[in-house]
Structure 1
Amino acid sequence: MEDTLIGRLEERARRPDPTVVRLPGSGEETNLRDLLDRARFLAGDLHEAGVRPGDVVGVVLQNGTGFLTTLFGLMYAGAIPAPLALPHSLGGLDAYGRHLAAVAQDCDMRFLVTGVELRRLRGRLADGLDGGPVVLDLDTLPQVESRLCLPIDPDRPGFIQYTSGSTSAPKGVVLSQRAMATGVEAIVAAAQVTRDDTIGLWLPLFHDMGLVSVLVGLLAAGRLVVWRPADFVRRPAQWLAAFARENCTVCTAPNFFYDHLVAVADQFDSVPLDLSAWRVACNGAEPVQAHTVEEFTRVFARHGFAAGAVCPVYGMAEATLAVTFSEVGKGARTVWMDRAQLRGPGRAVSAEPGSVTAQALVSVGRPVPGMRVRIADSEAGEGLGAGAGRVGEVQIMGPAVTSGYHGRPRGEAFTADGWLRTGDLGFLDDDGELFIAGRDKNMVVVRGENFYAEDAEAVVRDLSGVYRNRCVAIAGSGSGSGSGSGGETLVLVVETALSDDGERADLEHRLTSTLTAALGLTEVKVRLVEPHWLPQTSSGKVQRNRVRAVLESGAV
């Protein structure tokens, strides 16, 4: 099993100092060797319960040793684990039930392993699960007290990651054991993880960034500290203090994580906080914002955080997470580009920093080991060659890349010559560093001109009255605030805590005038909503399709 993820982990576990795993929430502490041994016993229990090689088995469990032993136990039993979001992640039980049913049908799921996470909800979810997978409760599984470790084919489907999808419906990313091993080792190399590192994580393990980061820690770090998402979301300042006390050296998280910490930084004005051990702060899973990087670095410098620790990255579940990685220790690199020229396909053109027509873009580094990146014409799907500065769709190829989406034709995701279409637009500079300009699916066409949703969001998110920079831009039909044409318009949905009618009207005016000045965009509709209204995926991305559906229903 040397070419499999399990094989790599077993090799690490045989060393004298297997990775220590600590869970502050429960006070539990174990190590990789014990986790894998417990997983072999669980594999026997799962087999006794009816799980067979090749079965797709859903996993609905909180962050913890139960999740990890179940993941590895299913692999030992020859099954294909498919981690799924927890009930609170999808906005209500009805929506969650529909999600479970849709995923179960999509992958012909035979079993669903859970515990306390669904125990009290199973009655209310019965309709959605009726006729679907058999639900196995970890606490009531038959215990046969014998280990099971079936042979693992490194190239057969070994794992399915269901994407939460901010711009498309959830779909199952199929990864082989070889792809997973390759992807994890690529991150180990890019982040220079060693046994001297303590990796601290709070992201949900059903999310690709959370899961793969944990696998990186198990494979290469000395210690791995795993919190639950609520530990950070509910008390970010207390979480950061705990992160520092654990002397964590590596953390991976989306851009909003760093915004949240900046928002609570004043709580450390009179409280000691030492972040000098933090050497790699990966920022990815959503667009990396130059303002966020600058503010986080500035605010926490007085607490020992080094500017060189900032590590913007680019990745996706389809690549076993990492596509490109910034050089460790160099910090973030920001360039200012002309917005109009970034609407591609075409050439990226530099602009005066801070000018109203300029867009700040943060480099997300170079390809990780084994990964190839090219820029292609997003319409034709053909490579534009090695020329630097060309804007087009980012396409990738490599041994860590998925074989495709479960049950869908390969041509849906890949070009004729075998490159995965990411749907993201970007360019490579003369040094081979990648810059993401926007998402092809987030393009709004107004009067024949292309506008990125991310551009609109970037120019208004810092306006006073916008709640915690939370806003989303999507394409809509009908006239905007401009000429009254019936074509496509940009709809800007903005969270605000303002309640006074005059203040809200002023905010709407400032939003539209700012967009007009920065982008030359007049076809704009503004919708003000309450704080926390915007639905998000598990990684913090706004679910644009859900926002669009609500707007089209007339509910806002």
Structure 2
Amino acid sequence: MCRDDFADGVSFTGIKVADYLDADGAIALPDGVTLTSYLDRNVAGLGDELAYRYLDYTRGDDPVVHELTWTQLGARLRAVGARLQQVCSPGDRVAILAPQGNDYVVGFFAAIHAGMISVPLFAPELPGHAERLDAVLADASPTVVLTTTAAAESVRGFLRRHPASQRPRVIAVDAVPDSVGATFVPAVHGTDDLAYLQYTSGSTRTPAGVEITHRGVCTNVLQMILAGELDTDIRSVSWLPLYHDMGLIMIMFPALCGGHITLMNPMAFVRRPHRWMVQLARESAQGRVFAAAPNFAFELAAQRGVPQDTEGFDLSNVVGLLNGSEPVSLAAIEAFNATFGPYGLPPSAVKPSYGMAEATLSVASVPPAAVPSALYLHRGELSKGLAVPVSPDHSEGVPYVSCGQMIPSQWGVVVDSEIAAELPARHVGEIWLHGDNIGRGYWGREEETQTVFGNKLQSRQPENSHAEGAPDSGLWLRTGDLGVYIEDELYIIGRIKDVIIVDGRNHYPQDIEATVSAASPAVRSGYVTAFALSANDSGGSGEQLVIIAERATGAGKAEPEPVAAAIRAAVSRQHGLPVADVRLVPAGAIPRTTSGKLARNACRTEYLAGAFN
């Protein structure tokens, strides 16, 4: 899994992808394979070649460039690792509360290299998430917090909210001199040892720390390479936050494979989407490029991502852009392709995907040569748990984008969870997963770990089972996601906890939210939450539907009554549902997770607390 040519296996170490596959082509990592074993090999073999580049756009569109070669990275890892070994014991948690940048990368890997458990988090300046950071720090109980000199004061100020006896030591990564590394002793890791805790985004519940082992992360990176037919030293450009599973996995590719990545701050992209596209084009001029982003990024880039100067703006080598982390919209992909197709972007470049922290990241994606596609499913039949395709112009048709197939050495079945039985094709059920990329469980939560990670599949379909090849005794992860297989392609229907049940019929909130977005130009498209209140919450006789919708740009003075009336009429016409309450709120008012997803459960909680009155 280090740097080689995917086709012929030529490598600076002589190791080929085939060395990690068994006779049947399944991934089989040998004992002793760890994150740190690859890091050490790359540091020794690549020397002064580039490993990580960070573009600092805080001063404008001409970024300050910070680069780390492999030699420099090795020196920084030893220095910070040695400092940690002075104040920590093996197995202690080390939280990273640093701004985006190379120091974050160094801190994350140094903690693992030194024998501790890395906990990638975020600096306290991330707005609106102080309560989540408090909860995660209490859960992980880190001995040390790694940050930077610039952020150290705000981190210490934040930690003063905790009792003095519970405050971790704060170390600034950039303040540790290389000379400290002289005392570093590399930790001895096993392939199945815990490497880091990946905290869930908390969209439907309190964040939990997923235990990711060396085997889990190494397997998932290799699965992504095989699924996308990527060069193992492929280059990348990422603005994704490094505390999020999708952003974190991107920095694993250089660590394991020996390529390089260009990083930037998420706000650098949000403010100027063309920055991401320009860097993709620059890397495309050198070779094949791979990246990932949530669906909203493709919408934003289509609107504002073309640079003013398009000379040499060629995206023809951008071979894989994973679109995941939130519901995938075919309209967003089509707009992105229409905008960047004239600049060489292949029509198959965007890859609708499905993933989750409990699986390290990647679970399913469309094949390399496939063009994104969607099916329209009958709304009424979906409410009964059946997926019946209809024509795009059907009055009851709802579009769902295909997420393709499971990545190699990953099994995914659609299950009737009440009886743990695999369902046939075109039946909606919970997605269960099995594979070496699955996390070990939740940190400190034995009961929840057993409930989520410790499931047995009681029966399989006699023909065309998606569990074929998985061991009968294997344990399965309950994802909490609803899905369906149609012609062996996976479609994500929604989250079990988000399903709205009225009069015994299932309604999927993202479907209702799409209807609301299209109901009035005063609604900010894609920034709507739909949720149900129970009889206890509402004081009524059954569940009642509530809509919270952010105002579109320029609609700040729009009268709410006509907008609410249009929303009620559209939801009644399309879904046959009465709407108990509609609240039109300012842009940014709906709570979000740290990964940027709208948080329906948090929105419901705030609504009940009167936040939108």
* TM-score, normalised with respect to structure 1: 0.91
Q: Which runs of 5+ in 2 are unaligned?
A: 1-30, 57-63, 457-474
- Matched with 1:78 is 115
- Matched with 2:28 is none
Change (3 A) 1:145 1:14: closer
Q: Does 1:354 align with 2:389?
A: no
* TM-score, normalised with respect to structure 2: 0.83
Whether contact under 8 Å (1:255, 1:288) holds in the other structure is yes
**Aligned partner letter, 1:215:** M
Provide, for residues 349-401 of structure 1, a one-character-per-residue CA deviation record: whole Å limited to 9, x for no partner. Answer: 111213331111111111112211011114x151325x222210001011110
Q: Please report how far the alpha carbon of residue 270 of structure 1 lies from its aligned counterpart in structure 2 after TM superposition.
A: 8.0
- Matched with 2:610 is 554
- Matched with 2:550 is 495
Task: Give distance in 1, aligned partners of 2:159 and 2:113.
Answer: 29
Q: What's the secondary structure of 1:253's corresponding residue?
A: strand
Task: Give distance in 2, aligned partners of 1:9 and 1:270.
Answer: 37
Provide, for residues 13-72 of structure 1, a one-character-per-residue CA deviation record: whole Å limited to 9, x for no partner. Answer: 444586632222241222345423421232111112x11101011111122221121112
Please point out which of 160, 166, 189 is paired with 1:126: 160
Q: What's the secondary structure of 1:375's corresponding residue?
A: strand
Task: Give distance in 2, aligned partners of 1:89 and 1:451.
Answer: 34
Change (3 A) 1:478 1:302: farther
- Matched with 1:198 is 235
- Matched with 1:364 is 403
Task: Give distance in 1, aligned partners of 2:300 and 2:185.
Answer: 44
Whether contact under 8 Å (2:455, 2:478) holds in the other structure is no
Aligned residues: percent identity? 32
- Matched with 1:174 is 211
- Matched with 1:99 is 132
**Aligned partner letter, 1:465:** A
Q: What's the secondary structure of 2:390's corresponding residue?
A: coil
Q: Please report how far the alpha carbon of residue 303 of structure 1 lies from its aligned counterpart in structure 2 after TM superposition.
A: 2.7
Q: Does 1:429 align with 2:479?
A: no
Change (3 A) 1:186 1:196: closer
- Matched with 1:320 is 360
Q: What's the secondary structure of 2:162's corresponding residue?
A: helix
Task: Give distance in 2, aligned partners of 1:524 and 1:274.
Answer: 50
Change (3 A) 1:212 1:124: closer
Please point out which of 51, 55, 58 is paired with 2:88: 51
- Matched with 2:8 is none
Change (3 A) 1:392 1:454: same
Q: Does 1:145 align with 2:181?
A: yes
RMSD (Å) for aligned C-alpha atoms = 2.6
Task: Give distance in 1, aligned partners of 2:215 and 2:393.
Answer: 45
**Aligned partner letter, 2:295:** N
- Matched with 2:6 is none
**Aligned partner letter, 1:149:** P
Q: Please report how far the alpha carbon of residue 217 of structure 1 lies from its aligned counterpart in structure 2 after TM superposition.
A: 4.0
Task: Give distance in 1, aligned partners of 2:537 and 2:119.
Answer: 43
Aligned residues: 544
Q: Please report how far the alpha carbon of residue 277 of structure 1 lies from its aligned counterpart in structure 2 after TM superposition.
A: 2.6
**Aligned partner letter, 2:576:** G
**Aligned partner letter, 2:51:** V
Q: What's the secondary structure of 2:428's corresponding residue?
A: strand
Whether contact under 8 Å (1:252, 1:281) holds in the other structure is yes
Q: Please report how far the alpha carbon of residue 214 of structure 1 lies from its aligned counterpart in structure 2 after TM superposition.
A: 1.8
- Matched with 1:220 is 257
- Matched with 2:7 is none
- Matched with 1:112 is 145
Whether contact under 8 Å (1:157, 1:175) holds in the other structure is yes
Change (3 A) 1:488 1:370: same
Q: Please report how far the alpha carbon of residue 300 of structure 1 lies from its aligned counterpart in structure 2 after TM superposition.
A: 2.3
Task: Give distance in 1, aligned partners of 2:521 and 2:556.
Answer: 14
Q: Does 1:510 align with 2:547?
A: no
Q: Please report how far the alpha carbon of residue 298 of structure 1 lies from its aligned counterpart in structure 2 after TM superposition.
A: 2.1
Task: Give distance in 1, aligned partners of 2:224 and 2:360.
Answer: 10
| Larger deviation, residues 257-266 vs 289-298 | 257-266
| Larger deviation, residues 317-326 vs 335-344 | 335-344
Change (3 A) 1:58 1:23: same
Q: Please report how far the alpha carbon of residue 308 of structure 1 lies from its aligned counterpart in structure 2 after TM superposition.
A: 1.0
Q: Please report how far the alpha carbon of residue 468 of structure 1 lies from its aligned counterpart in structure 2 after TM superposition.
A: 4.3
Whether contact under 8 Å (1:381, 1:415) holds in the other structure is no
Q: Please report how far the alpha carbon of residue 11 of structure 1 lies from its aligned counterpart in structure 2 after TM superposition.
A: 3.6
Task: Give distance in 2, aligned partners of 1:167 and 1:191.
Answer: 30
**Aligned partner letter, 2:543:** E
- Matched with 1:24 is 55
| Larger deviation, residues 268-277 vs 67-76 | 268-277
1:232-251 matches, within 5 Å, as: 232-247=269-284, 249-251=289-291
Q: Please report how far the alpha carbon of residue 455 of structure 1 lies from its aligned counterpart in structure 2 after TM superposition.
A: 1.0
| Larger deviation, residues 367-376 vs 111-120 | 111-120
| Larger deviation, residues 103-112 vs 152-161 | 103-112
Whether contact under 8 Å (1:19, 1:218) holds in the other structure is no
Change (3 A) 1:474 1:267: farther
Whether contact under 8 Å (2:273, 2:300) holds in the other structure is yes
Task: Give distance in 1, aligned partners of 2:127 and 2:450.
Answer: 29
Q: Please report how far the alpha carbon of residue 121 of structure 1 lies from its aligned counterpart in structure 2 after TM superposition.
A: 4.8
Task: Give distance in 2, aligned partners of 1:215 and 1:528.
Answer: 42
Task: Give distance in 2, aligned partners of 1:22 and 1:63.
Answer: 11
Q: Which runs of 5+ in 1 are unaligned?
A: none
Q: Does 1:258 align with 2:314?
A: no
Whether contact under 8 Å (2:406, 2:412) holds in the other structure is yes
Change (3 A) 1:90 1:317: farther
Q: Please report how far the alpha carbon of residue 438 of structure 1 lies from its aligned counterpart in structure 2 after TM superposition.
A: 0.9
Task: Give distance in 1, aligned partners of 2:406 and 2:312.
Answer: 38
**Aligned partner letter, 2:604:** R
Q: What's the secondary structure of 1:294's corresponding residue?
A: helix
Task: Give distance in 1, aligned partners of 2:453 and 2:234.
Answer: 37
Q: What's the secondary structure of 2:321's corresponding residue?
A: strand
Q: What's the secondary structure of 1:53's corresponding residue?
A: coil
Task: Give distance in 1, aligned partners of 2:512 and 2:429.
Answer: 19
Task: Give distance in 2, aligned partners of 1:23 and 1:269.
Answer: 22
